[in-house]
Structures are given as C-alpha cells and as structure tokens.
Structure 1
C-alpha cells in the first residue's frame, strides 16, 4: 500500500474535502462544525421528503457529493472510516433539511452507522418529527455464516438506493412511498468487491501485516479495509467469474441472497478509487461479457465509474439490482434511475430514450475505401530481392527491441522499442499475406496503411507522414526502374514533407539524426551500405547530445550521455538490415 499523500493531516483532509463540495456545486452548503453538507434553502422548490445519508469519510463521492436536487438533502460525514456521531446526525435532521414532508434516513449496515443514525432518528421521532430509516446491506462477500447476526455490509449498491429514493422524493411522493421503494430497492441488491491491496489512511502508521503479494487479489474486501472471503492469484477473467458466482449462484446457500432477474436488471461497476478509467473500462467489458455468456443476463442499464470508494483502493465492486415493480402506481425503478439530478457524484448522463432506443446501427466503409489506393506508377522493383531486403530490415529492428527499449527507459517512457517491434511484426505479417508486387508504389501504399493502423504515438505519426510522402515522391519518379538514385530523390521529397510537421533537424537528438545522413549519403553515392553506415554513425552520434525535442527534454540527469536516441537507433538498425547487414558481437557483418 502507498503511504504517500498530499495531505497527511486527516482532520484537515476531511474538512477541506467537504468544503470543496460547496465550491463545485452551488446548490449545497456546509455546516463545518458538524460536517454536514446540505441543500441550500430555495423558496422556488416545492416541499418534499428530505433524504439524509452519510457515514465515515473516505468513500467519496459518497455521500457529500450526492447532495443536491434529485438525490440527497443532506449528508453527514464522520472522520475517515468512522461513523459520524448521533449529535451530528441529529443536527442534520432537526436543522439542515425540510421536515414538513418527513425525512428518510438511508444508512449502510455498519454497527457504528446504524447505532448513531438510529439514535438520532429516535430522538427526532420523540420530538414529533416524522422519520423513517432504511438500512442497506448489499455485500455478499462475507456470506451468511461469517456475517452472523450482523448481516450483510453496505457497499456501492447503496448509491442506487439513494438515487431511486432521491428521484422519487423530487417528484413529491409521500414519505411512506419513498421509504417503501427505498426498502424494496435495498432488498433487491447484491454486491461484491475485490482489491489488489489494502489502503493506507492518512495520519496512521503504515503496517504491512495484511499486505497482498504481487498478483494476489482479495475477494469480498470491505470498504474500510475489512478482510474479504478469500485471496488468491488469478487473472481478471477468473476473478470476475468468482465474483459473479458469489452474486448469482443459487446453489451457494451461504450467499444466495437474491434470484437476479435475467430479463431486467441494472449493473453497477464501481471504482474503489485507485483503478484508472482505462482499466475500469476493461473490467466493465469483462463483467458484461461474462454476464451475457455465462448467466444469460443482459442488463438494461450499465453504470460504470467512481461512486463509492475506499480512499485510493486498488479495486472495484460489482452490484446487480433486480428491477421490480414499485407497487406505488407511478414511475419504475429504471425511470427513477434515469431521472435528472444535479449532483457531482452521480455519473450516469445517458438519457432514458437513448437506452431504450437500442440503436444498433454502425457506419461501414467500402473495403476499397478503407485502405489507401495508389495508382500504378510504372516504377518497378524485383519483388523477390525487395522482399528479402525488407524482411531482413524488419527482423533487424525486432532483434534490436531490447536495446531500444533499454535506451528509451533511460531517456523516455520506455515504449519506443515495443512500438517499433509491433510495427515491424505487422508489416512482416502483411507482406506474407500480400507479397510485394513489381510496382513499388502500389506495394508501399498498402504498407503505409499497416503503419497508420498499428503504430501510434509520435514516432508512428512521423513514420506515417514520411511514408505517405514517399509514396508520392516515388510516383513522381516513374515509370522505370527504382534505382538508388530514384529512391534518393523520393526520400529527399519525404524529408522535405516531414520538415513541415516537425521542427526536428540533425542535432536535436531524434530519429532525424539517423534519417538525414542516410538520405544525403544515398543521394551522393547511390550506395545503400554507405548510406546505412552514415545512418548508424548519425545514431551513435546522439550519445551525449542534449535533446531539443521529445520527452528526453524533460528527463534530468546525465544518463542521456551514455545511450543513443532510441528512435534514431531503431531507424539505423532498419537501414542497416536493408543493406544486408546484421549485428554481431564486434559490430555489423554482411549477411
């Protein structure tokens, strides 16, 4: 677990975070003494049932960022992972929300929360305020046996209860109806989480007792660092399979809390705080795929994002909600989930009409239009000779991947070698399926499409621009034989085109330091081996050269003095292979 934080004082952290909610949502205000975020009074809003929730801090955006029109009326925060006091909750009930239409308190099933919120509810009732309380326990991770009388813990599925209840209250429904539907929603929820690591609470000593090993995952971990149901080393598909089994396997007597309706259910994939949006997308895709293929479930709504965290927990949770009849003669659960809200913590902006349209239309393209087509130029090569030379050049780049990656790890972000290798392998695969033809322009044009589709980043763009210009330059040289002189003129044309899009020139420590010497020497001598030697010398000359462009500019230290520019070296390896040479222990030798 990481013990690095920008704010290490837990009191200051909670107070400043609560204040930030009022900065990002003008609808809400803060009672700092009691850590209550509440809706600002507004005479234009008709009276409605007030909904209060809350719990320990560290679960943001739950609950403070869910205060606002269409969701919560107030949220009460404790310290990190600790319940707010009964007095804090009482203040929220009695002085921070409308009471005329009644109040619904929704709390997760943790002993401290249930007791403190419950105590405040009873005090309010004793004073004549109409208050109902719904306790949400959706976590199946622990199971009946271990949970005992305490029951299931509340985790991210609670957010669905808050959204549905909040939307219903906003429609002016009675306390009895809002409370009934909130309870019905809670009864139709199952959730389970998993994490790769426990979290560190700012201000606390760092302990390593429960540290998970590399590759190990804990299933059923709670949102306060509580232990789960088990650990193991497994990949994502196996993990998701186990999690869905805990949620859906009717034969598991310890966890079969709900028979999920395969015809209509809602899926919520929740980020526990430390998973990148990119990876959460991959997780969501895996969950949806397994639900469809293994359980014949196709959710009517799929929500994915950060709803309830465990600080920066490196994990996620899966929640499933059975969509059932609310029995109040009004909006359905789906309509309530889709209803508008003005809170920063609810990230589900897709409209009901969009979901229900089920639009499956896609744009298609003509196969002939999807790839660059080049008219025959009459510029001829020997396909066998060209294929052998190009294959050797690409294999030389692939063999150099480890060195290029090592160089780029020193002076960049470490992806240059992998990117070049990926491009080289794709071109080899392409020419194996579509052998080079006698007309070089037609063959090169098809290779350009491979580069554009496979190679990304700065180097991919540079190569794509260069090769597209090379196609044009070669076309202008035809018809005839593609001699070294012809190549030199076309390559010069490509260099000129490339210079329009990048300020890189020789001496800037880029691939240009290997490209220009090759083109210049080829033009002067017509000798591909001498041109390759010049390219290699240019690449070697980048050792110690201070960069003017690229990520190397931002890398400190003096390690750049010890390695060549990785892009220049990769290009030099290509040119050397093209000339029929390969590396050995002493340098390069002819093949």
Structure 2
C-alpha cells in the first residue's frame, strides 16, 4: 500500500535551492551563483573565471544524489557543480553559467554521467561555450555493470564511479596539466571503472508517494540511482552473497565491463545509497576486500567507504572497482578541500588485524604462574567448583535476564552476563592458578574485562580488582571465610564508589549488600562458614526480589516508570544473587562430599 513519504522539507519545489543555501553556509569555501530558481550552480569561492590559471573541472546532474556533485567542489577536485532539480538533468543555461563563472584561459573539462538528458544538455552547453571562445572538453562516465551490453544508444549508466573520475581529473587539473592531458586522464579513468548496486527499498521523491514496488523480504539488484527498477528482484540475502554477486558481475570476463584481470591493482568504493547505516557499509567493505584479494587475485590499494552518490532515502549500497596504476593512485591521494571527499589511506596498507595484547597481569607473569596447576589443592578444587557453578548459573539465566531487561533496560543483560560467564569457564581451563585464590579472582576480572561490554562489564571488573587487592594484602596464602567477607566488602565499596549507586538504587548492590550483612553477622556469631555463605545467599535472593518495590536511581531503568519497574526485579541484582547462591551451594556440597 502506497503512502506519503515523510520529509523534513518546506515546499517540495524548493528543496534543491534550500539545500544549496545550507551547503554554502556550512562550507565557507563554496559559493553559489545568484540565479535562483533557474540557475543552481555551486562554485569554488576562490576561483574567478577570467583569471583562473588552471583547467576548470565541472560536473553535475540531477539532485537527490547528495553529496554528489556539489559536495565534491573544492580545490583539488571540482571547480563547479551544476545542480538540476531532483533526478532531472540541469538546464543548458545553468551549465553555461557555471562554465562562464569558473573557466579561464586553460579551458574547462565537463564530466558527464551517461544519461540521455545529461548528455544532451551538457553537450549543447559545450557547443555554445565553444562558440563563445571557451576551450571545452567532455568526458562521459558510464560505469554501470548491471545490464549486459550492448545497451543500444543509451549505453551504460553513470553511477558512483563518476566520483573517482572527478577526483582524478581534479587532481590532474590542480597539478597544472593542460586541458588535453586532464581530459585524457579522466577518460582513461572512466574506462577503468565498474559499479554494481543493490537496493533494499525504493526512494521517495519530495512531496510524492512512496512506491511499494519492492515488497518485504526482497532486494533489487542492478538498479540505477533514480528509483528506476533494477535488473532483477531477489530474496534478501546475507551481505556475503550480495557482495559475491556484485563482484562477479563487475569482473566477469564474459561481459568485459572493465579491463581488470588477476594481479591488477584496484581501488574499491563502497557507496551508501542514502539510508544505509555506516555499520552495514563497513560490513560490506570488510567482506569485499578479502574476496577481491583471495577469489579474484587483485591487490586492493585503496578503500573508500561512505555515501558518495546516493538516491535520496534509498536503502542499499553499490560497489565500485577501478583499475589503478601509480599515476591514478597519486591523483586519488592528492590533497583536496572538497568537503565530502574522504581521507583515504595512502601508501602501503598495514595488516588489517593484529593479535590482541595480553593483559598486563598475564603478560608480566611467567607461563607457569598463568597456567592451570597440574595438581589442585583441596582449596583449589573448592574454588573451581564454586566458579563453575556460578558461571553455569548465569548461563542458564540468560533468557530470563534478557526478558526482564527488555522491560526495564536495553534487553541485553543476560547476553552480557552470558559472555562473561562463558569467558570465565574458557579461561579457567588455561589461565586460572586455582591454588592461589587472590590471583584467580584477578584473572576472573581480566576475563570479564575482555568479554563483557557495557556498564556491567566495567562494574564487575572493578568488583574483581578490588576483591583481588584486598585478598592480596593477606600475608597468609590461605584465605579464610572472614577474609572472603572482607574482600566482598571491598568489592562492594569500590562498585559503589565508582558506579555511584548504594542500597535502594535498584542495582546489583541490592543483592550483594544484604548478603554481606548476613555473612558478617553469621561469621561473627561463630557459625559454620559454609552455612554462613548459604544463608547469606538467601539474603541476596531476597534483596534482588525486593528491587521490584524500588524506584531506579541508576542506569537505563531510571528512565522507566514505576508501574513497569514493579513487574520485574532488577536483572543485574538477580544475576548477582544467582551466581552468589550457586557458588555458596556448590562450596557447601563440596565440603559435605569430602
């Protein structure tokens, strides 16, 4: 069902004019010709045509593809951009106005995307400018690889590869080359580039109804940038599959779109179509590079990822591959003040990944002290079963914790605790010196810091480090129940200090503070230590349950209404109570068994 598209605009007829006004206010290096509404031309503020001593480079086309092309006006790239109405070729008078404004004795190169309207209007403007005495050259860019050749007189469409051609030409012009040489480099670049796009949605023109052509669960392959239908509609696929299809299409030896063969050097552009998050573009880039290297045998010299030539609010991306030599790379690396050209990496590419450094606590200790002891002492075995029980209890609670957190937080408490618990179980087999309780607690903190994200990860790392510091202060290697209680108290104090919470704030402390109080009371009364821990764990559960009656004063729950909070306990408090009780029960069972 079609519906009116939502846009933050005023009059739909004024969107291009108002875009240009905002652009030049944002970037002082740009100006526009005062000829609205007919003439919509963005130029470099430092260029005066009559005295400009370098080749002017002009491109343009219909608007709606921002930042193309106006965002690429600047020293080292375009001298001017001619802006048509949305998805409409700019009129001849606008193109002529741009030529006259920035072209000096060295002449002007027009870079034109291969659409009939653009070719006709820029062509007529070029002929008129020549009749006025200007030196004009034209390069047509048709980098579309979606449709098999031949395409009749229309030919391949101009897509995001045009931006790379603009950069090559702009750098050549800035270097002082002649018009013929600038045009030659631009033409060569245009013949070395291919692009393939995929869309997940159809764009909405300002003031118009959104098309429902592309249904749910579908994607469109080989589309243009004006909302026109693509070469094929297919079921939505993982980005790995999409990337593989696009690369095969661009680099197919049968179609021979671009003269790229194994061993060639290339540059890659991942271009967002307007509504694609940076995360998804980066995922596409990360999957494309190794495929080019391993499957096609290409040396990827540069990667540009972002939105360069969009289609209003279309979701999707395009992949552009350009064959490169040293001269072309120098043009791409040359400095530019164009506001939307990215700062790409230059020179040799270092390895994309390196090993994660070990935490200082591990890297500074001997391998022997880091490894799990071959022979566990009795206390080591007790500590082992306590850790395993606590971790497994948290793992079993993942879904319940996530469910509670979805109501009062961001829904990931269980997943976060699960990552920490599984890391603890994995690392215990390799790193934990279980015969040394203090160092084991320290290593638990290292595991948590590595695996757990968010506030919970930081708080539990602080918890473990504070407990470790207190345990380490004991001269006797044997840790007594009283010293465990002191370590728990130090950990609670540290979490309260750095996290800002205390009793009644609806956090994990509302489970641990009651547990500590009961533990200290029982131990002072001379109770059996294992029984004291079990009884204190009951207090932890009661404290966690009592959070239903608390108004949250910390974390995301502080934004949630009391009515919702009263329906579930605090997930962090329940997680703390669960692992504490599981450890206490496991220790008691171990003692009874022995």
Answer yes or no: same fold by TM over 0.5.
yes
Distance 1:502 1:88, change over 3 A: same
Cα displacement (A) at 1:478: 4.8
The residue aligned with 1:105 is 110
The residue aligned with 2:514 is 517
Cα displacement (A) at 1:162: 0.3
The residue aligned with 2:585 is 580
1:244 pairs with 2:250: no
Q: Tell whether the 8 Å contact from 1:381 to 1:440 is kept in structure 2 after alignment.
A: no
Please report the TM-score for the alignment, with normalisation by the length of structure 1.
0.88
How do residues 19-30 of structure 1 correspond to structure 2 at under 5 angstroms?
19-30=21-32
Q: Tell whether the 8 Å contact from 2:383 to 2:437 is kept in structure 1 after alignment.
A: no
The Cα offsets for residues 114-156 of structure 1, whole Å up to 9 and x where unpaired, read as 22222222222233322222111101012225x3331111111
Pick which of 278-287 and 154-163 moved more.
278-287
- Correspondence for 1:566 among 551, 563, 571: 571
The residue aligned with 2:322 is 321
Partner SS state of residue 246, structure 2: helix
Pick which of 259-268 and 332-341 moved more.
259-268
Give distance in 1, aligned partners of 2:4 and 2:460.
40
Distance 1:558 1:262, change over 3 A: farther
Cα displacement (A) at 1:372: 7.3
Give distance in 2, aligned partners of 1:429 and 1:273.
43
Please report the TM-score for the alignment, with normalisation by the length of structure 2.
0.88
Q: Tell whether the 8 Å contact from 2:55 to 2:104 is kept in structure 1 after alignment.
A: yes
Partner SS state of residue 295, structure 1: coil
Cα displacement (A) at 1:49: 1.2
The residue aligned with 2:44 is 39
The residue aligned with 1:307 is 308
Cα displacement (A) at 1:225: 2.0
The residue aligned with 2:535 is 530
Cα displacement (A) at 1:359: 8.4
Distance 1:91 1:269, change over 3 A: same
Give distance in 2, aligned partners of 1:81 and 1:397.
55
Q: Tell whether the 8 Å contact from 1:380 to 1:439 is kept in structure 2 after alignment.
A: no
- Correspondence for 1:343 among 338, 345, 354: 338
Distance 1:83 1:504, change over 3 A: same
- Correspondence for 1:50 among 48, 52, 56: 56
How do residues 98-497 of structure 1 correspond to structure 2 at under 5 angstroms?
98-144=103-149, 147-211=151-215, 213-214=216-217, 216-230=218-232, 231-250=234-253, 252-253=254-255, 256-260=257-261, 262-324=263-325, 332-350=327-345, 352=346, 355-356=347-348, 370-371=362-363, 382-434=379-431, 437-479=434-476, 481-497=478-494
The Cα offsets for residues 402-451 of structure 1, whole Å up to 9 and x where unpaired, read as 12112222222222211111111111222244566222122222222111
Cα displacement (A) at 1:568: 1.4
Give distance in 2, aligned partners of 1:105 and 1:245.
31
Partner SS state of residue 300, structure 1: strand
Partner SS state of residue 577, structure 2: helix
Give distance in 1, aligned partners of 2:65 and 2:283.
23
Q: Tell whether the 8 Å contact from 1:452 to 1:460 is kept in structure 2 after alignment.
A: yes
Give distance in 2, aligned partners of 1:160 and 1:226.
23
Q: Tell whether the 8 Å contact from 2:5 to 2:208 is kept in structure 1 after alignment.
A: no
Distance 1:369 1:423, change over 3 A: closer
The residue aligned with 1:584 is none
Partner SS state of residue 112, structure 2: strand
Partner SS state of residue 199, structure 1: coil
1:86 pairs with 2:92: yes
CA RMSD of aligned residues (A): 2.8
Cα displacement (A) at 1:232: 3.0
Give distance in 1, aligned partners of 2:79 and 2:172.
13
The Cα offsets for residues 479-518 of structure 1, whole Å up to 9 and x where unpaired, read as 2643432211111111222233121111222222222122
Q: Tell whether the 8 Å contact from 2:109 to 2:137 is kept in structure 1 after alignment.
A: yes
Pick which of 426-435 and 487-496 moved more.
426-435
Cα displacement (A) at 1:349: 4.5
Cα displacement (A) at 1:256: 4.0
Cα displacement (A) at 1:321: 1.2
Distance 1:16 1:547, change over 3 A: farther
Give distance in 1, aligned partners of 2:205 and 2:562.
34
Distance 1:14 1:508, change over 3 A: farther
Partner SS state of residue 564, structure 1: coil
Q: Tell whether the 8 Å contact from 1:380 to 1:479 is kept in structure 2 after alignment.
A: no
* Structure 2 residues without counterparts, runs of 5 or longer: 371-375, 524-531, 587-594
Distance 1:369 1:427, change over 3 A: closer
Cα displacement (A) at 1:577: 1.9
Distance 1:349 1:370, change over 3 A: farther
Partner SS state of residue 311, structure 2: coil
Partner SS state of residue 152, structure 2: helix
Give distance in 2, aligned partners of 1:367 and 1:11.
59
Q: What is the aligned residue count?
A: 564
Partner SS state of residue 541, structure 1: helix
Give distance in 1, aligned partners of 2:454 and 2:356.
26
Give distance in 1, aligned partners of 2:53 and 2:275.
39
Give distance in 1, aligned partners of 2:70 and 2:336.
14
* Structure 1 residues without counterparts, runs of 5 or longer: 326-331, 582-591
Partner SS state of residue 212, structure 2: coil
The Cα offsets for residues 321-379 of structure 1, whole Å up to 9 and x where unpaired, read as 12258xxxxxx2111111111011100254x4xx1486899799678764575989xx9
Q: Tell whether the 8 Å contact from 1:381 to 1:481 is kept in structure 2 after alignment.
A: no
Pick which of 554-563 and 232-241 moved more.
554-563
Give distance in 2, aligned partners of 1:315 and 1:495.
48
Give distance in 2, aligned partners of 1:65 and 1:167.
16
Give distance in 2, aligned partners of 1:357 and 1:371.
28
Partner SS state of residue 57, structure 2: strand
Pick which of 2-11 and 78-87 moved more.
2-11
Q: Tell whether the 8 Å contact from 1:50 to 1:72 is kept in structure 2 after alignment.
A: yes
Partner SS state of residue 144, structure 1: coil
